[in-house]
């Protein structure tokens, strides 16, 4: 649950989630079920494979949006070179002549976009970002089943190289699931300002490897809000060449059932600077290795998972609201990394009062426990009617005597709109990012607070080729005051 304290805080949270929806960039669309690689890659005529979109459509600053489905050689031809029929990895930054290719590769959700090379992988990665892909962002996929044997640095995503000129700067991987892999992700070479957050790494031989094998100093990595579960050897492995310096920040992660060290660095190489705190360790060989020590607010408790093979937390989990909203003491994080606002691995809003104690705190690990679920969108076109249900699936609102009310926001035309939320006063939002669409009550339906509603989408050419985020704010008046929860749902594509 989310207690809204000030209009400024709520407005900031709203605008943060919609950042980028009005950027001047081109959007390309991939649909593994209904697309065709002879199409232009528009919403109405998507291409079939990510391989094609990355090779022939995406230019610097573009976004590639992937519809739900399975991305594999047998389903949509992904990972197959059309000229040879042999395995070909996804590569961002293919033009190695200095031309940037910074891409946003956006899946429709880790539970809905499954990337599976079907064991045909022949290289030690099946997706890679080269130096001209600096600034790339990847989110919303499950990566699984590569086929290559367990081995050091065999992985799904690889960044950088030890070769001169392959430094990859400012790459972000979030809201993904990495399953049944040798390694999930490896930053190899001097890969600067890498951000790996809100991901699940599960049933893997190793978790992730962050390395600096070059004479370039200043390699920095940020690893936070992740869940590492059922890992054969190490959760996070840090290596640094003696010629350079790596600084790695590790916080708000959950480690469960890790065979060796949850966090360690290889003493056979250089000595990195590792800042680690506010993590939870359970059933691990050792929390830290190679001289690393526990953080002041680390915890060592049973996370109470929904199931041993499920990363989700029970409502009573001690990890709910146990993370650090501020940078842990002694961890000199730069601006823009904290506070850890954004979305969890399921695309839900971070910073929710999950334990209902009145404090808004981040959960440790990749999931933010939330009460409100949203579902039911049909085909979306300009001027059409969309239907959606918002449900208090855990019963937190329904158990109270007052029906909660909802406000629905979405992208619309130009200008600004004002609306009142008592007792927080009058707020204004830019309609190029958000507008208030509708409001109503959520009466109990079969014992749960639920609202089923339909609303007309604007017939505005401004939205063509854009992704419009839509969110619910659900609030309830109680004797102790107003409590509410801000929940994000899948973006609408026009």
Spacing of C-alpha 112 from chain mean position: 13
Q: How far apart are CA 268 and CA 288, in angstroms?
A: 16
Q: What average pLDDT does the segment 267-290 reach?
A: 88
Q: Between the ranges 159-173, 225-239, 435-449, 455-469, where is the mean pLDDT highest?
A: 225-239
Confidence of residue 408 (pLDDT cuts 50, 70, 90): low
Domain 372-493 architecture: Sandwich (2.60)
Cβ contacts of residue 452 below 8 Å, gap of 6+? 376, 387, 388, 389, 445
Cβ contacts of residue 378 below 8 Å, gap of 6+? 386, 387
Residue 154: closest CA among 214, 204, 80: 204
Among the listed ranges 18-22, 161-165, 352-356, which one has the minimum average pLDDT value? 18-22
Q: Is 453:440 a contact under the CB 8 Å cutoff?
A: yes
What pLDDT sits at residue 22?
Answer: 34
Among the listed ranges 44-48, 200-204, 281-285, 422-426, which one has the minimum average pLDDT value? 422-426
What pLDDT sits at residue 458?
Answer: 60
312 pLDDT above the threshold of 80: yes
- Pick the residue with more confidence: 152 or 321? 321
97 pLDDT above the threshold of 70: no
pTM as predicted: 0.80
Give the model confidence (pLDDT) of 322-354 as tens digits.
Answer: 987 877 888 888 776 766 567 889 877 677 777
Q: What percent of the chain has pLDDT over 70?
A: 65
Residue with tokens 């590790």: 250
Count of beta carbons in the 10 Å neighbourhood of residue 375: 11
What pLDDT sits at residue 431?
Answer: 38
Domain boundaries, the chain: 72-313, 372-493
């Amino acid at each position: 649950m989310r207690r809204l304290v000030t209009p400024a805080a709520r407005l900031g949270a709203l605008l943060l989630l919609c950042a980028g929806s009005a950027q001047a960039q081109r959007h390309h669309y991939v649909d593994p079920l209904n697309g065709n690689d002879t199409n232009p890659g528009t919403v109405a005529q998507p291409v079939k494979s990510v391989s094609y979109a990355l090779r022939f459509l995406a230019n610097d600053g573009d976004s590639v949006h992937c519809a739900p489905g399975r991305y594999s050689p047998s389903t949509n031809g992904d990972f197959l070179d059309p000229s040879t029929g042999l395995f070909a990895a996804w590569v961002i930054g293919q033009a190695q002549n200095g031309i940037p290719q910074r891409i946003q590769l956006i899946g429709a959700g880790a539970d809905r976009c499954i990337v599976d090379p079907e064991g045909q992988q022949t290289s030690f990665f099946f997706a890679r970002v080269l130096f001209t892909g600096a600034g790339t962002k990847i989110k919303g996929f499950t990566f699984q089943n590569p086929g290559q044997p367990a081995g050091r640095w065999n992985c799904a995503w690889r960044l950088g190289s030890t070769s001169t000129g392959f430094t990859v700067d400012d790459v972000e991987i979030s809201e993904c699931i990495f399953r049944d892999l040798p390694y999930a992700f490896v930053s190899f070479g001097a890969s600067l300002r890498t951000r790996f957050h809100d991901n699940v790494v599960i049933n893997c031989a190793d978790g992730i490897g962050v390395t600096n094998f070059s004479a370039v100093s200043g390699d920095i990595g940020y690893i936070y809000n992740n869940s590492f579960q059922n890992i054969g050897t190490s959760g996070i492995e840090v290596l640094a060449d003696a010629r350079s310096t790596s600084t790695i920040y590790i916080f708000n992660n959950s480690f469960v059932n890790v065979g060796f060290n949850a966090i360690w660095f290889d003493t056979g190489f250089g000595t990195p600077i590792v800042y680690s705190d506010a993590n939870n360790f359970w059933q691990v060989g050792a929390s830290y290795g190679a001289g690393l020590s526990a953080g002041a607010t680390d915890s060592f408790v049973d996370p109470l998972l929904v199931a041993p093979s499920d990363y989700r937390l029970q409502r009573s989990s001690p990890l709910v609201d146990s993370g650090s909203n501020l940078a842990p003491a002694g961890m000199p994080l730069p601006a823009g990394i904290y506070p850890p606002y954004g979305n969890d691995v399921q695309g839900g809003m971070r910073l929710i009062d999950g334990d209902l104690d009145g404090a808004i705190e981040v959960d440790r690990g990749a999931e933010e426990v939330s009460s409100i679920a949203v579902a039911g969108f049909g085909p979306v076109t300009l001027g059409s009617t969309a239907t959606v249900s918002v449900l208090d699936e855990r019963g937190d609102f329904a158990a109270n005597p007052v029906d909660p009310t909802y406000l629905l926001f979405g992208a619309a035309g130009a200008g600004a709109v004002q609306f009142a939320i008592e007792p927080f006063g009058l707020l204004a939002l830019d309609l190029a990012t958000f507008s208030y669409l509708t409001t109503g009550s959520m009466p109990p339906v079969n014992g749960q607070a639920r609202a089923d509603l339909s609303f007309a989408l604007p017939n505005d050419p401004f939205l063509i080729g854009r992704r419009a985020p839509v969110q619910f704010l659900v609030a309830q008046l109680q004797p102790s005051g107003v409590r509410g929860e801000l929940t994000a749902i899948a973006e609408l594509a026009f």
